[in-house]
Structure 1
């Protein structure tokens, strides 16, 4: 049986009405896993070991941006009953929709590359599994997680949340034993750069934190799960979702901050650590084998969970923009191919992770701009339309992201 993406039986819908807003925690936490994927490990470890606490402010600002963006995505799904790609298909010209679909597929490939490579690295660190075999195992586990949706949404969401907790435990242990420097951490909240390399890393961190596929995913998960009979009910769901997004994104942000802090406190001083394998070895040498083990387990949980979420997002992109639905196993195989090629060619896996995050940063405006355009329209959103100040802040966020991407292009080409 093919795993179901959004559809829900009337019996499950009835339970959602009885249980009230509590089930909304599911979409928020499923989306949060996208913000602690293996790409975050690579960029935050590189940033912390190279620049210390300098780029703490990037993690904080990116997370605040993510809260707003995910809230708007969830709101669009609740208000319209459609995913963002479906809204684009309905309101934009055909050529524009096809272009957005094309870049969405590139984003999906970059996303899957990061998740599969991250899982493969973790399996090699833990069990000395060859990278190519580890990539295949990661893909298989991810598909198994998606298959849980045949039993309804909750088993899948519980599994993803459980993996999120594994990551949290690993990070919490490491940060508590890292010798955190509070004054340096506070100083790192002051926005600044030190050379072009820090700008490049900041763009990668932004790409790893504000995820295009998470924008597509969150609205889709909220759009078809709930019976929305009145606008008052939609307003109630939105109020609950606002809290849920803040909770889930705060947890994800603290995880990213913990990873950078550990790298800055433990791995900075000698030669910069630019690989996940180097970070694992450095943690083991400085904090002991338990810290290294929990780091690798957190990476493995991240790879498994985020790979399944990435595949789900890719199907949402194709189904929404084109009204084309293919079996998830086919989708999994298509998205898996580039990652397996990278692993088979022996490309440095950490470098591949960082590059994938830079690619993702280019996809953010193509998801964010349509999201803002739709959520500011009363004819689309009804009473859930953005307030003027919300739209203004959202446009400011989009401007910052686009400006950073243009800077990244300039630094890459010069």
Structure 2
């Protein structure tokens, strides 16, 4: 039973991190336009986030310190401030998207416009962070978020041609209506959504919140190997649903309600009810993670007191940063900007910032001064170096492809 409880951090990270509004929308958009032709990117992203999240968790367990604290100390203030600026900006964009995602999910449930739900969502996130214990927060958000398994159930209920789906995934072909630059633009978007930087910052800081030590390394691996692959499976299910139901009708996903259409077709009102509960939990969990990550990054960089394990009065600047971040995100959405549009841009900009996040983690996890005998193995470093090449290619290609394709239009 303790092991099941121990994976709660990984489940929360998967449901509220890997499978956040960015993944849900991006995979549905891709499925409705390209079918299964881009599904191969999802396992590539899953393996990458598992690789680096495990490093970040190991660093936290061995050193007892969060990744961003060590990054500043190891790389120096000049390099770390570049990392800080990029990470905080991307995190704020993602937080804005997640607040918008909560509002859109509540709109599905109530029929009330998302603008009315934005302040409610922001206040609820702040209230949970302010008053609810970390362990309760992660368990509730993770368990309720498992309602999104309805995506996978819906695929089976639709009884698709499994051979055709597998063939399209293994031998991808670009539809005649799409171009090669647009194809690669969305490949980068899926990759960026899978490896969003805040995931590893939250995972690392969460390990410190829970007091992990070397004895918890097995628990860290379990969290990674359960949480992120689960999010990846559900991401594939979302793309498959859009492929089965939306692509043949040439319906391109432009709203969260369209993401729900295949689920409604497969399982009716009951399935949609589970979906709405899961969407609220997933976006709320991601909003919690990104809000906490905004406080983690700044507090750890400047050496402030931080953590939910401390009373708010003992970590006042940490909590103030989170309040300001929530307020800024809500104000951006109050201008009437489309949350889906914010989401689509946030995952692409996440891809741009990937080298600044994952190269320092690789450097620190190989430093015996912090890790002792727990440095990376040669095999881990070999795979990590391959991923650094992929990450750098995605980062350098994102802006040119965004300009050439008009952001995937």
What is the count of residue pairs matched by the alignment? 387
Q: Check the 8 A contact 2:126/2:323 in 1, yes or no.
A: no
Please state if 1:348 is matched with 2:338. Answer: yes
2:123 maps to: 140
Local SS of the residue matching 2:112 = coil
Matched, 1:156 2:140: no
Cα distance, 1:295–1:79 mapped onto 2, change above 3 Å: same
Match of residue 331 from structure 1: 321
Whole-angstrom distance in 2 between the partners of 1:122 and 1:20: 32
Which residue of structure 1 aligns with residue 354 of structure 2? 364
Mapped to 1, the partners of 2:349 and 2:212 lie a distance apart of 37
CA, structure 1 residues 413+147, in 2 after alignment: closer, same or farther (shift >3 Å)? same
Structure 2 residue aligned with 1:246: 225
Within 2, Cα distance between the matches of 1:85 and 1:375?
A: 12
350-359 or 178-187: bigger deviation = 178-187
Task: Give the Å deviation of 1:209.
Answer: 1.1
Q: Among 256, 274, 292, which residue is 2:253 paired with?
A: 274
Query: Aligned ranges for residues 366-385 of structure 1 at < 5 Å?
Result: 366-385=356-375
1:375 shift after superposition: 0.8
The question of 1:177 aligning with 2:157 is answered: yes
Q: Residues 215 and 162 from structure 1, CA distance in 2 versus in 1: closer, same or farther, beyond 3 angstroms?
A: same
Summarize the Cα distance change of 1:342–1:174 in structure 2 as closer, same or farther, 3 Å threshold: farther
Tell me, yes or no, if the aligned pair for 2:35 and 2:243 is still in contact at 8 Å: yes
Match of 1:167 among 137, 141, 148: 148
Match of 1:204 in 2: 189
CA distance in 2, matches of 1:401, 1:239: 27
Counterpart Cα distance in 2 of 1:324 and 1:31: 24
| 1:52 positional shift | 0.8
Q: Find the residue that maps to 2:251 and give its secondary structure.
A: coil
Secondary structure at 1:119's aligned position in 2? helix
Residues 112, 336 of structure 1: 8 Å contact kept: yes
Alignment of 1:8-407 (within 5 A): 24-32=6-14, 33-149=16-132, 151=133, 153-168=134-149, 170-190=150-170, 194=174, 195-226=180-211, 228=213, 234=214, 236-275=215-254, 276-281=256-261, 283-284=263-264, 288-324=268-304, 326-327=316-317, 330-407=320-397
What is the alpha-carbon distance in structure 1 between the residues aligned to residue 115 and residue 319 of structure 2? Answer: 19
> Whole-Å Cα distance in 1 between the matches of residues 382 and 212 of structure 2?
31
- Aligned partners of 2:170 and 2:233: how far apart in 1? 17
Deviates more, 1:326-335 or 1:64-73: 326-335
Deviation (angstroms), 1:241 = 2.1
Is contact 1:21-1:237 (8 Å) kept?
no
Consecutive unaligned residues in structure 1, runs of 5 or more: 1-18, 229-233
2:350 is paired with a residue of what secondary structure?
helix
Partner Cα separation in structure 2 for residue 191 and residue 366 of structure 1 = 33
Q: CA deviation at 1:349?
A: 2.6
Q: TM-score, normalised by structure 1?
A: 0.86
Note the alpha carbon deviations across 1:248-289, whole angstroms, 9 max, x for none.
Answer: 112111111111111111111123322223333465467533
CA distance in 2, matches of 1:259, 1:320: 36
- Partner Cα separation in structure 2 for residue 155 and residue 298 of structure 1: 17
Gaps of at least 5 residues in structure 2 are 175-179, 306-315, 405-409
Shift of residue 36 of structure 1? 0.9
Q: Is the 8 A contact 1:48 1:264 kept in 2?
A: yes
Q: Using a 3 Å threshold, how does the CA distance of structure 1 residues 405 and 193 change in structure 2: closer, same or farther?
A: farther
1:348 and 1:193, CA in 2 relative to 1: closer, same or farther beyond 3 A? farther
